[in-house]
């Protein structure tokens, strides 16, 4: 099994990432925390000292804090996990069995959590229909529900091959041997190969390829926090050039063992979709997707609706405030842990309506027609992590994300004064 690397040590329990001072772009990713959530919390760039760059290490805590790692115990505990002191065990939610027959989920239809049923049905439907291969690039997988489904597929289809790329911070090898997360249960099969990154930056993707023909992508890790507690989104994409672009990036990591910065690349477009990948060189500077996101806010004419986990870059808040100043309706739902950071505070000071909650999505809906989603938070650590930024220009899909924004908005509240 290629490229199964590991750190020479294991982080104990919950992690604390020390933010390094960022060079250039002035603002404040400096000591951010991506929401804290116990072991699901893991989007944590908690490799503080990472020298991928002079960029602060953000910890995503998935279980509540995915975080690009803006810090925190449990870094992918998604910063939406950022720093919250919740129970070590997330609330239970339904776990269906893997379907025994194939009913392929519709493409171009987003699903959201919580509740988890629609998204899990979408993922398990793709898994049940897979014929030859499943390729997963997932920051964190610690939910036995999902691992049980993967094992069921291996048992039901004796020809299928699984290839996984995971972040070694969230699932290191014990002394170079067994994985220290539930994925270790898969390695008894000769048809499963697992590659770990070996750097301080995060392998922060959340996507899966089925038979290299269908893509499942969004903000959710395969964790109980992501499905049962946090607000997340996912969508199935069948556009050939988009699927192929994710396949190229997967092979770069799994086959070539390349996780660090590459020369800047043009985004790949097909149909309603366009996708950017990072890290780009130099990772201390904004990635192309980040600059284009800021520019897109600058062209918004009617509305900008944000649902964001780790929000530490004031370039984005400055653009949203400028849009608000020219009459654009701007609203945002920000992960609890980031409400005291400079960007959220600037929005509040400018009179922009803002709510907080268990937010792990990384979504911006512009003018009711363009959706920006994927794995990347609005943070400097996202420039040095392995990330994808998926742009969708389709009014029907945008309407579904807008409806989800309204649902989340109604279920959350402004921060306490």
Q: CATH number of the domain that 130 lies in?
A: 3.30.870.10
Does the pLDDT at position 26 exceed 70? Answer: no
Q: Are residues 228 and 314 in the same domain?
A: no
Residue with tokens 């991506």: 34
Residue 99 lies in a domain: no
Confidence band for 412, pLDDT divided at 50, 70 and 90: very high
More confident residue, 266 or 88: 266
Residue 309 lies in a domain: yes
Q: What is residue 310's predicted lDDT score, i.e. its pLDDT?
A: 98
Q: What is residue 175's predicted lDDT score, i.e. its pLDDT?
A: 87
Mean pLDDT of 388-414: 98
Q: What is residue 215's predicted lDDT score, i.e. its pLDDT?
A: 98
Q: What is residue 413's predicted lDDT score, i.e. its pLDDT?
A: 97
pLDDT above 90: percentage of residues in the chain? 76
Q: Are residues 385 and 281 in the same domain?
A: yes
Residue 370 lies in a domain: yes
Confidence band for 18, pLDDT divided at 50, 70 and 90: very low
Confidence band for 89, pLDDT divided at 50, 70 and 90: confident
Confidence band for 54, pLDDT divided at 50, 70 and 90: very low
Q: Treating both helix axes as pointing N-terminal to C-terminal, what angle do 342-349 and 314-325 enclose, rounded to 10 degrees?
A: 10
Mean pLDDT of 222-251: 97
Does the pLDDT at position 83 exceed 50? Answer: no
Q: Are residues 406 and 278 in the same domain?
A: yes
Q: Which range, of 169-178, 310-319, 346-355, 381-390, averages the lowest pLDDT?
A: 169-178
Q: Are residues 229 and 317 in the same domain?
A: no
Q: What is residue 2's predicted lDDT score, i.e. its pLDDT?
A: 38
Q: What is residue 12's predicted lDDT score, i.e. its pLDDT?
A: 32
Confidence band for 90, pLDDT divided at 50, 70 and 90: confident
- CA atoms of 34 and 77, how far apart (whole Å): 7
Q: Are residues 137 and 231 in the same domain?
A: yes
Q: What is residue 77's predicted lDDT score, i.e. its pLDDT?
A: 39
Q: Are residues 276 and 406 in the same domain?
A: yes
More confident residue, 226 or 37: 226
Does the pLDDT at position 102 exceed 70? Answer: yes
Q: What is residue 386's predicted lDDT score, i.e. its pLDDT?
A: 98
**398 near 392, Cβ under 8 Å?**
yes
Confidence band for 235, pLDDT divided at 50, 70 and 90: very high
Buried b / exposed e along 289-324 (16+ C-beta atoms within 10 A): bbebbbebbeebeebbbbbbbbbbbbbbbbbbbebb
Q: How far, rounded to the nearest angstrom, does the alpha carbon of residue 162 sit from its chain's CA centroid?
A: 21
Q: Are residues 302 and 384 in the same domain?
A: yes
Does the pLDDT at position 53 exceed 60? Answer: no
Report CA torsion sign: 304, 114, 76, 167.
negative
More confident residue, 74 or 169: 169
What is the domain extent for residue 347?
Answer: 260-411
∠ Cα 11 336 401 (to 5°) = 110
Q: Which range, of 88-97, 123-132, 225-234, averages the lowest pLDDT?
A: 88-97
Residue 101 lies in a domain: no
Of 216, 242, 268, which residue constitutes the final position of a domain? 242
Q: Are residues 360 and 326 in the same domain?
A: yes
- CA atoms of 389 and 218, how far apart (whole Å): 9
**404 near 234, Cβ under 8 Å?**
no
Mean pLDDT of 65-72: 40
Q: Are residues 231 and 339 in the same domain?
A: no
Say how many domains are in the chain.
2
Kindly report the three-state secondary structure assignment for every residue of 5-67: CCCCCCCCCCCCCCCCCCCCCCCCCCCCCCECCCCCCECECCCCCCCCCCCCCEECEEEEECC
Residue 32 lies in a domain: no
Of 211, 242, 273, which residue constitutes the final position of a domain? 242
Confidence band for 88, pLDDT divided at 50, 70 and 90: low
More confident residue, 367 or 176: 367
Which of 279, 153, 262, 163 is CA-nearest to residue 212?
A: 163
Q: What is the pLDDT of residues 127-175, one digit of tens each?
A: 999 999 999 999 999 999 999 999 999 999 999 999 999 999 999 999 8
CB-count exposure of residue 180 (10 Å: 0-12, 13-18, 19+)? middle
Q: What is residue 76's predicted lDDT score, i.e. its pLDDT?
A: 38
Q: What is residue 87's predicted lDDT score, i.e. its pLDDT?
A: 45
Q: Are residues 115 and 174 in the same domain?
A: yes
Q: What is residue 25's predicted lDDT score, i.e. its pLDDT?
A: 38
Q: Are residues 283 and 208 in the same domain?
A: no
Q: What is residue 70's predicted lDDT score, i.e. its pLDDT?
A: 37
Residue with tokens 């979709």: 273
Residue 249 lies in a domain: no
Residue 17 lies in a domain: no
Q: Which range, of 32-41, 90-99, 145-154, 388-397, averages the lowest pLDDT?
A: 32-41
Q: Are residues 346 and 298 in the same domain?
A: yes
Q: What is the pLDDT of residues 274-313, one digit of tens each?
A: 999 999 999 999 999 999 999 999 999 999 999 999 999 9
Does the pLDDT at position 61 exceed 90? Answer: no
Residue 366 lies in a domain: yes
Mean pLDDT of 178-188: 96
């Amino acid at each position: 099994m290629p490229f199964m690397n590991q750190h020479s040590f294991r982080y104990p329990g919950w992690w604390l990432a020390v933010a390094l001072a960022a060079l250039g772009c002035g603002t404040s990713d400096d000591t951010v925390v991506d929401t804290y959530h116990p072991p699901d919390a893991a989007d944590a760039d908690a490799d503080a000292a990472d020298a991928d760059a002079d960029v602060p290490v953000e910890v995503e805590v998935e279980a509540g804090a995915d975080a690009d790692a803006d810090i925190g115990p449990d870094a992918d505990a998604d910063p939406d996990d950022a720093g919250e002191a919740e129970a070590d065990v997330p609330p239970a939610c339904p776990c269906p069995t893997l379907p025994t027959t194939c009913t392929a989920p519709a493409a171009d239809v987003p699903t959201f959590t919580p509740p988890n049923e629609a998204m899990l049905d979408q993922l398990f439907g793709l898994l049940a229909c897979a014929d030859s291969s499943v390729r997963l690039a997932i920051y964190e997988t610690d939910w036995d529900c999902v691992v049980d489904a993967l094992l069921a597929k291996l048992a039901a289809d004796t020809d299928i091959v699984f290839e996984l790329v995971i972040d070694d911070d969230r699932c290191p090898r014990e002394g170079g041997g067994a994985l220290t997360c539930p994925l270790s249960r898969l390695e008894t099969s000769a048809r499963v190969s697992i590659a770990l990154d070996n750097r301080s930056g995060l392998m922060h993707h959340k996507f899966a390829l089925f038979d290299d023909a269908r893509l499942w992508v969004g903000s959710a890790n395969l964790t109980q926090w992501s499905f049962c507690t946090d607000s997340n989104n996912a969508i199935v994409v069948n556009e050939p050039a988009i699927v192929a672009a994710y396949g190229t990036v997967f092979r770069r990591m799994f086959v070539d063992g390349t996780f660090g910065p590459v020369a800047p690349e043009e985004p790949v477009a097909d149909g309603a979709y366009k996708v950017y990948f990072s890290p780009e060189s130099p990772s201390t500077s904004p990635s192309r997707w980040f600059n284009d996101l800021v520019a897109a806010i600058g062209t918004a004419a009617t509305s900008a609706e944000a649902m964001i986990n780790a929000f530490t870059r004031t370039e984005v808040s400055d653009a949203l405030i400028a849009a608000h100043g020219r009459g654009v309706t701007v609203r945002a739902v920000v992960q609890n842990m980031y409400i005291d950071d400079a960007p959220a505070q600037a929005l509040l000071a400018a009179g922009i309506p803002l709510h907080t909650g268990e937010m792990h999505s990384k979504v911006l809906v512009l003018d009711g027609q363009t959706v920006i989603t994927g794995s990347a938070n609005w943070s400097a650590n996202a420039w040095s992590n392995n990330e994808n930024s998926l742009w969708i220009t389709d009014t029907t899909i945008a309407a579904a994300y807008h409806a989800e924004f309204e649902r989340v908005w109604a279920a959350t509240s402004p921060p306490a004064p």
